[in-house]
Structure formats: structure tokens, C-alpha cells
Amino acid sequence: MQITTPSFKDNARRALGDSDLRRALDNMKTGFVGKRLLAVERLPEFDALRDDARDIKEHVLENLDAYLERFEARVKEQGGQVHWCRDADEARRVMLEICRDAGARTVTKSKSMIGEEIAINEHLEANGIEPVETDLGEYIIQLRREPPSHIIAPAIHLSKEQVADAFRQKHGQFPGDRPLDEPRALVDEARAVLRQRYFDADVGITGANMLVAETGSVVIVTNEGNADLTMTLPPVHIVLASIEKVVPTLEDAATILRVLARSATGQEMSVYTTFCTGPRRSGDADGPEAFHVVLLDNGRSALLGGEFHDILRCIRCGACLNHCPVYSAIGGHAYGWVYPGPMGAVLTPGLIGLEQAADLPNATTFCGKCEEVCPMRIPLPKMMRYWRDREFEARLTPTLSRLGLAAWTFLALRPALYRVATGLVIGILGALGRNRGRFRRLPLAGGWTAARDLPAPQGRTFMRLWAQRRRGRP
Amino acid sequence: MSGARDTILGSIRKSLKRGPLSAEQAARLEHRLKTPRANVIPARARVSGRRRTDLFVDEAERVSTTVARVADAAGVPGAIASYLAEHNLPATLKVAPDPALKTIPWSEKPVLSVVEGRGEDGDAVSVTGAFAGVAETGTLVLLSGPEHPSTLNLLPETHIVVLRRDHLVGSYEDAWALLRVMGRGMPRTVTMVTGPSRTADIEQTLQLGAHGPRRLHIVLIGGAEDDAE
Amino acid sequence: MTAKALDVGLFVTCLVDLMRPVVGFAAVKLLEDAGCAVSVPPGQTCCGQPAYNSGDRGSARRIARQVIAACEGIEHVVVPSGSCAGMIKVHYPELFADEPETAARAEALARRTHELVSFLAGALEGAGIDAEYRGAVTYHDACSGLRELAIKEQPRALLRRVRGLELKESREAETCCGFGGTFCVKYPDISESIVDLKVDDAIASGADTLLSGDLGCLLNIAGRLKRRASPMRVRHVAEVLAGMTDGPAIAEGRGG
């Protein structure tokens, strides 16, 4: 997909002016945020489970090579195939080859963020294979030819009217004047259309929430059941997973499942959690004949062991997006690539390069809410700060900011000079602002006064007044 | 392709500043995999007997699953017939070729027409067994296999699950333990189903029946008399 | 009162020093009324947070060293800001992770450093608070104080002792106000959208005054309230606890 991250500020400005988007994002508070809180309150062990989940994933990352080898061996024992891919290009090539070998004309897909990351749909389309997204939200945005705006609710930015418009345009098989006012009607229509696509598809592509080393199973979680249909009906199943998804045992998977849905949507469990192990067995009446796992690195192994190591624990629940004041204000598209919100601000620079994503680690208030709700206890603000360090070192920080900072540091390190200089400025501003108590506009303060008045200082510095008080004392 | 494998494993090891695991370290991991240990299990899941049944039913109902209770297999056809009548649903059942379901006296309810097989487009109602029910979240554990085609869980609009009360467990870990005791390894799919299919992708309003069943109904076999712990 | 007065050094913070000295004097009064002997370490300027959060670790470390030296030998360092106290308590030790000797000094300072309100409510058990405020107050939980230092109940407990004060909780009391240090000037339109939610929520609480423990947030919220011509008053919580509310509230003038 096209990267628009470098124009983050313009994207954000546009998003802020979009009243449909604002209404859609408001739904998120009562939906995801409120429901998560209720689910967490119902489970006294939630924090203990978060600790366990973090420890499991840490243990895996420390032994990632061994667990991947073990997973691979198990998949092969069950008659599946594993394809290791260093980057997006390699993964696209491998997947296209599998589709071609299957003589595929259409493939169904269940939502996969890694699929977005490697832009698999565009690649298949360019090669004459039609990909059909089956997650309802993902299907809607595919019809509208736009990228997802949220990692678990890709169409969260849309109103039902916008969805109805897309359906009227693209579903020519139905009468044009059919009623599509209610979400129910929209869901039913999508269900009917997609049902046939499952039967027609030659290949089903799913992502993976986890890979289980113990059994060689792929764990796929959905609410709609679309991944189960995608992996059951077509003759070939391709799983696209990144290398950090592996967990040791079924018990470890259970622990992560307990925090996943609660953090994501506030459900105790998602509706369908399927552990899928190899192709159809003898005697089975259904299931695919071939089972492929594409294991993608795409820069992740390089993040291991470094400052951004902890982001590899991420289970893509979306809690950090749902709770982020910045995401809640601008939505996901403004971030300009696959991963928005706090986890995106940490992951995106690591995957597409800091130059392109320079805004993301800065466009945060460091309020810490993301870390507070993260089920994997990922220190997101700390890692955004690491990216800021790298920007500063690489001189990506804007010149004006650098100069301002240098001047401030110069003064801060010279207390005597600092007192004189600040005393002077504060004295002037205090006198100017004395009557109104604030400024509507002030030279060099445009960033501040664009949105709010600048409160005037009281006029004398504390340090000066304190010195006077001390002198006045006997 | 082996080039990619070696590159990725090499890159992982380089980042971790080490070579392949030593024999001793590898043995430790193997031991962890061979003797899986549970992590924290919520207290809620550690119940048995009647309390476990009640919890299972409560949790299942919270997620819009409906539950009917019958004393024994003989009660199943009647329970299903009245459920279908109540919801104005056709009485044609696609039933899993499950030996346990064969013992159900379907013919006692002639209104029900029973066909065995996998799920097909157009099937309105399916009936399957279940490997286990997990009380913790009212979750069904369904294993695929010759006796349980997974299409039956997905294609019909109504999925009816016949579940024996003594197949209820407290936690997911209990279900894994049962699966290991069976000793047949992992089936092609183990699906944990918690309620009927749903989506909230349109304006965050919940709609049941997105791609899978709109209705999930459990007929729970096991009368009050076996409520002793 | 304890027999021996507690030795307290006030780290006044640059914003209080420059923008609103009355907060510093309120802090001094509260500490003295609780029986502390208060000094103001002369070598202090800024805690280094602007540099730290802008990726300039070198400058942040130089400033941090200066603060560590300035506070050497002081039994308790008290800071009228959760954000600056968090910088000293949480981030100074991280800054010197690769310099064991300085890290030890940073950790010692971190242990001796307290955010004002939690120190008054905790170690000082609310001693000496004797104030009156006629008004309905809502409290904004500033992010650093809340999430880095677990400041939540302390200010509310102290405010309940103020005569005439009615506390009205806002639904979104824990939601960020959109200040975020340099964030608010780098991304003014996003910041505006966030602070608008905060302001709407504060107004909806029915309070006539908004209090908090961090001047950064307060300047942001007050600035937005005034831009929107709201009559809501904004003050640092210390001003109310110390009974020093005769002067104009934040962003309000003498000329009316």
C-alpha cells in the first residue's frame, strides 16, 4: 500500500476536519473502551495474566530460533509446508507461486495485518488473481479501495451510510432501491455475497494470532467465522505469519487468549478461536488438501535484543489505539501506513524507516495510557522516546526545535545567566499581560496561540521573589 | 528457500548475540514443551459439580448462546423439536456422523428429518457433538474429524450442539489435558466457539450471524440426579 | 508536629518559577505549616525534561547532573509537579544506566524526591491544612503524576479538608489534556482537539474551578477555556490548599 506517513501533519489536519470520522471515532469510547473496562473488572487475575503473558513472550523471544525450528518440524510432520521469507518481496513471490500452482483465479482472505504490510492483495491482483477480503470491515474497505484505519476494526472510520453507498455501487446484482438503512441489512447482504465467494475460491489466505511450537498449530481468532470458512472451503490454505507469533505450548496460548479479546473488544473470548494443524486428514469430509505457512521476518529479527525488542511482544489487540487520545482524535489513516496508534508509532519506523515515519514517535503526548492498558506490558512511550533520540542523533529533528532546545539548555546550565535572562523576559511579558492575564497572539508562540490563549506570567520569577523574601527577613 | 531460513535464523542469533542453543539449553526447551505447565488460571474456572454447570450456562448465555437441559439422550429430539418450533425454523437436520449422536432416538420425533453428512450451502440447521464445554467463558471445544466435519459449525444458520454434562471442564487448560489424555495428537482443527458468529464492524453495533451461524443452541445432557460432586 | 522539623528543599520547576510563582509560595506555606524547614536550592533551573523528550539525551544528562548536585545533602526534595517529579524519580536513574556512579546518586535523589501533594498527604499526613474555598472544583489527573507516581486519591483527600469546597468528579478526569510538552506546539490542531474534550468534560461536571497538580496542563487547559470565553477558573491545587486564591486565576488579569 502507498505510504503517506511523511505527510502525517496534513493527514491529521484533514482527519480533524472530517465530521463523519469524528462521529465514528466517538463510538469507539463506548464500544471498545467501556467494554474492556467491564471485562477487566470481571477478572481479578487480569494483571497476573498480563505478567504471565509478558513472560511467555519474553521467553520465546530469547529462544526464537529454537521455537521456530520446532514449530517448522511439527508442521512438516503433519503434512504442511513452511516457507521462510526474509522480506515482503520474497513472501509475495512465494504466495503467488502457491496460488499459481493451485491454478487460482480467486482467493478468499481473512484479515491479516501482515498481508497489508506486504501488500499481498495488490500483488495478486497485478498477476491476475482476485483477492476477496472476508472480514466484514476489511471487505468494506476493499470495496472502497482504501486501507484499514484500525488493526482490529478496519472500517471503524465509516458510517453505515458510507457502507450502504459502497454496497449500492458494487453489488449490482441487487435492486438499486433496496433498503440498506440498518446495519442488519448491510450484514445480511455482505453475508450473502461473500458466502458464494468462499465456495468459488481456489485458495484461502489467513493470518495467524499465534503459532504453537508444541503442536505445529496455527491459532486464528475471529468473531465472524470468516477465517474458519477461509481455511476450510478452498482446497489450499496459506497462513501468513510473522516470526514473532510463536508461543511454546497450548497452555501458553490459553494465557494469551485470556488477555487478547478482553483487551481488544472487551469480550471474554472472541467467538471463534481455531487451532489449525496441517491439511485435511484421511477420513475427513472437509478441509484443505494443502497447508502452507509463510513465515515472514521483514525486519523483525533485527529489532530483537535492541531498544525496540519489546514491541515484538505485541499481539495486535488494538487496546493502545482505542485508548490513545491522539488516535481517538485523528483515526488510523493519518498515520499513513499499516500500523496506526502507539504500537504503530513504535513499529512503523522500524519497518519503513525513520525518515519516512519521523512524525509518528513525536505525535504523542506521552500520557502513558497505552502502556497502562497494554496486555503485554510493552513500554510504548519509552520506545517512542528512543526513536526521538535517534531522530535527534540523525539530525531529523527540525532546525527550529534544535535551536530552541540548544538555547534553553545553554541557559539552563548557567543558573546566574538564566535568572537574568528569564527575569527580563518574564518582566516584560508580565507587564504586557497584566490587565488581560493572557495573550491571544505573541511573536514566536504561534504554535501555542493557534488553539489557545497564552496565560501571562505573573511578572516576577519565584527565584527573585524568594531572594527578596529571604533578604527581608531578620 | 533454505537461504532465507538460514538468513533469518542467523539474524535472530546475531541480534540475540549468541549461536545456536547448546544441547543443554535445547533440552531445557524440549522439556518445557514436553511437560506443559499451566500459567495463572482464574479462580472462576476452578469450580466443579453443579457450580461448574451453572457457570457454563451463565457464561454461554452472556454471549447469546442458548441452552436447554435434558436428563438423557432420549430427551434430545424433543428438546430440538421444540427449539426449532419456537424459532420457526425448518425441522430438517444435518447431523454429524458422530457415534454418540447415533444413540439418540431421532425416530421418536417424526417431525424431525435427519440427514448425516458434512455442512453444505443451504443447510439450515446442523447438529454436532462437542469434545468439551469450558465453564470459564461458556466456550465449546469442537474437534474436526470424520465424526465432526467442521463445515457443520460454520455453514448453517443454526448450529445445535449436543453436549454431555460430564464433558464440562472448568478451564481451557482442563480441555488441553483431556485432549492429551486421548493421545491422538492434535486434530486438524480444534475450534473454541464462544457464542454465535458476530460482527460490530458497522458503527460498532453488534450483529449476530456475520458469516457463521446466527444461532448457537446447546442441548446439555445430564439431569439433576448427577449433581453430586 | 514532629519535634525536629523535616528538612525540605523545594525544586520549584521552571514553569512555576517563570509563569506562576504563587504556586511556589503556596508550596512553601503548605510545607512550613506542616512543620517543615523549607529551603530553595539555588543552583536549580529546569529538570531537563524538554531535552529528554526531544531526544537530546546529552543535554538532558548535563541538566540532570546539575540538579543532582544542587539537591545534594537535602533530606527531602519536593516538587509541585507530577511531571517534573516523575522526571527525577523515574527517568534520571534511566538516563545514567551506563554510569554506575552517577546512577547511584540519581537513584538516591529519586528516593528523596516527592511530588508536593503526595508528600503532603503521605509523609506529612495532611498536617496544617487550613483553608477555605467557595466553589465547586473538578480535579484533572495529570498523566505523569497519575501513571508514573500513582497520584490519584491524595489531592482529593486533601481537598476534602478545605472548607466550602465541593468536589465534582469529571468523567474523563484521567484523560490527557493534550499538552504533552512540545507536542502542543508541534501538533497544535491535534492538541486543540484533545484539549477541547477535556474542556467539554470539565464544564459538564458542573464545577466552576478546575484544579490540577501540573502547571503545564493547567496553562493548556486555561488557555483553551479562555479562548472559548469560558468563565471557569483554573488554579494549581497548591494555591487552593494553601488558601492563596486572592490573586487572579491562571490566564485571568487584574484588569478584569
> What ranges do the domains of chain A cover?
1-42+322-397, 43-298, 399-472
Q: What is the pLDDT of residue C254?
A: 82
Q: Which residues from A are below 8 Å from C175, CB to CB?
A: 325, 369
How close, in Å, is residue A13 to chain B by CA atoms? 23
Q: Which residues from A are below 8 Å from B181, CB to CB?
A: none
Do the domain assignments include residue B15? no
Whether the per-residue pLDDT at C256 is higher than 70: the answer is no
Nearest residue to A156 (alpha-carbon basis) of A182, A138, A142, A144: A138
Give the dihedral sign, CA A50/A52/A58/A61: negative
Nearest residue to C171 (alpha-carbon basis) of C133, C195, C203: C203
A69/B15 Cβ within 8 A: no
- A vs B, Cβ pairs < 8 A, gives 267
pLDDT category at C1 given cuts 50, 70, 90 is: very low
- CATH architecture of the domain with range C6-121: 3-Layer(aba) Sandwich (3.40)
Separation CA A342–CA A360 (nearest Å) = 8
Instruction: Report chain A's terminal Cα–Cα distance, integer Å.
Output: 74
Nearest-Å Rg of the Cα atoms of chain C is 18
Q: What is the pLDDT of residue C2?
A: 47
Reported as a single tens digit per residue, the pLDDT across C52-89 is: 999 999 999 999 999 999 999 999 999 999 999 999 99
Asked whether A238 and A109 are in contact (CB, 8 A), the reply is no
- Tell me which residues of chain C, numbers 145 to 204, contact chain A at a CB-CB cutoff of 8 Å: 146-148, 175-176, 178-195, 197
- pLDDT tens, chain A, 474 aa long: 789 999 999 999 999 999 989 988 988 877 899 999 999 999 999 999 999 999 999 999 999 999 999 999 999 999 999 999 999 999 999 999 999 999 999 999 999 999 999 999 999 999 999 999 999 999 999 999 999 999 999 999 999 999 999 999 999 999 999 999 999 999 999 999 999 999 999 999 999 999 999 999 999 999 999 999 999 999 999 999 999 999 999 999 999 999 999 999 999 999 999 999 999 999 999 999 999 999 999 999 999 999 999 999 999 999 999 999 999 999 999 999 999 999 999 999 999 999 999 999 999 999 999 999 999 999 999 999 999 999 999 998 888 889 999 999 999 999 999 999 999 999 999 999 999 999 999 888 888 999 899 999 999 999 999 999 988 864
Q: What is the pLDDT of residue A324?
A: 97
Q: Which residues from B are below 8 Å from A216, CB to CB?
A: 186
Taking CA–CA distances from A456, the nearest residue in chain C reads C251
CATH of the domain at B70: 3.40.50.10420
Range of the domain at B125: 47-224
Separation CA A196–CA A192 (nearest Å) = 7
Reported as a single tens digit per residue, the pLDDT across A437-457 is: 999 998 888 889 998 999 999
pLDDT category at C3 given cuts 50, 70, 90 is: low
Q: In the beta sheet, which residues pair with residue A206?
A: A239
Q: What is the pLDDT of residue C255?
A: 67
C-alpha cell of residue A397 = 529533528
Where does residue A129 rank: exposed (0-12), middle (13-18), buried (19+ CB within 10 A)? buried
Average pLDDT, chain C: 96
Calculate mean pLDDT across residues C138-145. 98
**Count of structural domains within chain B:** 1
* Topology match between the domains C6-121 and C132-241: yes
Cα separations in angstroms, A29 against A265, A325, A327, B202, C195? 11, 11, 12, 15, 17
Delimit the domains of chain C by residue range: 6-121, 132-241
Q: Which residues from A are below 8 Å from B173, CB to CB?
A: 251, 254
The reply to whether A436 touches chain B by the CB within 8 Å rule is no
Separation CA B175–CA B191 (nearest Å) = 12
Do the domain assignments include residue B229? no
Q: What is the pLDDT of residue B229?
A: 43
According to CATH, the topology of domain C132-241 is Rossmann fold (3.40.50)
- Tell me which residues of chain A, numbers 282 to 321, contact chain B at a CB-CB cutoff of 8 Å: 283-287, 295, 297, 301-306
Separation CA C133–CA C207 (nearest Å) = 13
Do the domain assignments include residue B57? yes
pLDDT < 50: residue spans in chain B: 225, 228-229
Nearest residue to B192 (alpha-carbon basis) of A222, A357, C99, C14: A222
Please name the member of A16, A365, A409 whose beta carbon is closest to the beta carbon of C176.
A365
Query: ipTM of this model?
Result: 0.97
| Domain A43-298 in CATH 3.40.50.10420 | yes
Q: Which residues from B are below 8 Å from A67, CB to CB?
A: 29
Residues with Cβ within 8 Å of residue B197, at least 6 apart in sequence: A223, A224, A225, A271, A272, B208, B209, B210, B211, B212, B213, B214
Q: What is the pLDDT of residue B228?
A: 46
SS (H, E, C) A411-467: HHCCHHHHHHHHHHHHHHHHHHCCCCCEECCCCCCHHHHCCCCEECCCCCCHHHHHH
Do the domain assignments include residue B185? yes
Provide the residue count of chain B.
229
Whether the per-residue pLDDT at C246 is higher than 80: the answer is yes
